């Protein structure tokens, strides 16, 4: 598991969330994983399955406590959708 700190009482461990929204303002399908490699695999799988559908937005984010960092977003470019936080792809 990816951790910000190994000391007791330190920051909480990071978890990874993959979300898929099939239309703007539509419902969100999501999954949570402790292992980044597993979350990356699911992200790529969802892009392959749903990425060509018009309006679909898929994101992979690292969540640590209250901090959300978007690591990848499909389609590529600025993070989109309600509650999206710009990440490395947004530059």
Question: pLDDT tens digits for 44-64?
Answer: 999 999 999 999 999 999 999
Do residues 32 and 9 make contact, with C-beta atoms less than 8 angstroms apart?
Answer: no
Average pLDDT over residues 20-32: 92
CA-to-CA dists, residue 5 to 1, 13, 20, 23, angstroms: 11, 8, 30, 38
Compute CA 71 distance to the chain's CA centroid, rounded to the nearest angstrom: 6
| pTM to 2 decimal places | 0.71
């Amino acid at each position: 598991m990816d951790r910000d700190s190994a000391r007791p009482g330190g920051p909480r461990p990071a978890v990874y969330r993959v979300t898929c929204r099939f239309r703007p303002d539509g419902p969100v399908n999501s999954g949570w994983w402790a292992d980044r490699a597993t979350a990356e695999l699911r992200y790529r799988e969802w892009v392959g399955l749903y990425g060509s559908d018009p309006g679909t937005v898929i994101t992979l984010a690292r969540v640590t406590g209250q901090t959300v960092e978007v690591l990848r977003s499909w389609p590529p470019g600025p993070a989109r959708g309600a509650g999206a936080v710009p990440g490395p792809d947004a530059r």
